Structure 1
Amino acid sequence: MDGITLPSVDHQLLSGIELSMPLQFSGDFLELAVLFFIIAIVAAVLGARGVAGLSMTVAKWLVIIFLVLAVISLLL
């Protein structure tokens, strides 16, 4: 590499060029499910049954998505 300098990783990230990362498993869905579950409990205590039901439904689906992605990532 005579006279050619490659941009550093920091420069690439700052310039908006993202490096491709392999598919990694994270617990974002589980964290969101816990958050919606807490919202559902607080809403139920305060008497907002509609908000509590909706939050619980969202939490349930996020847990299901988390479990499906966890199984897929373990199999791959």
Structure 2
Amino acid sequence: MNYYVDLDIVTQHDTYSFQIMNNEVVYQMMEKIKDYSVEDPLGLVDIYLNKRDMVQLNHILIDILESGLKNII
């Protein structure tokens, strides 16, 4: 299963964009992010840090996406 994560970190002064293509680097980034006050309404940092099984993580992310689309439509 191949995928990448687009991550935008918006501060008062600038926006920092990352495209992460390695699962271990995604986890490392989430470990660093959890130590800061971030707006994470979907709880993605906790999901990435607590779900290491890629199939399970994929299902959770699809559920989040589908529920978000239902709220928009």
TM over 0.5: no
Instruction: Select the structure that is richer in helix.
Output: 1
Instruction: Select the structure that is richer in strand.
Output: 2
> Comparing both chains, which one has the higher relative contact order based on Cα–Cα distances under 8 Å and sequence gaps of 6 or more?
1
TM-score norm. by structure 1 comes to 0.33
TM-score norm. by structure 2 comes to 0.34
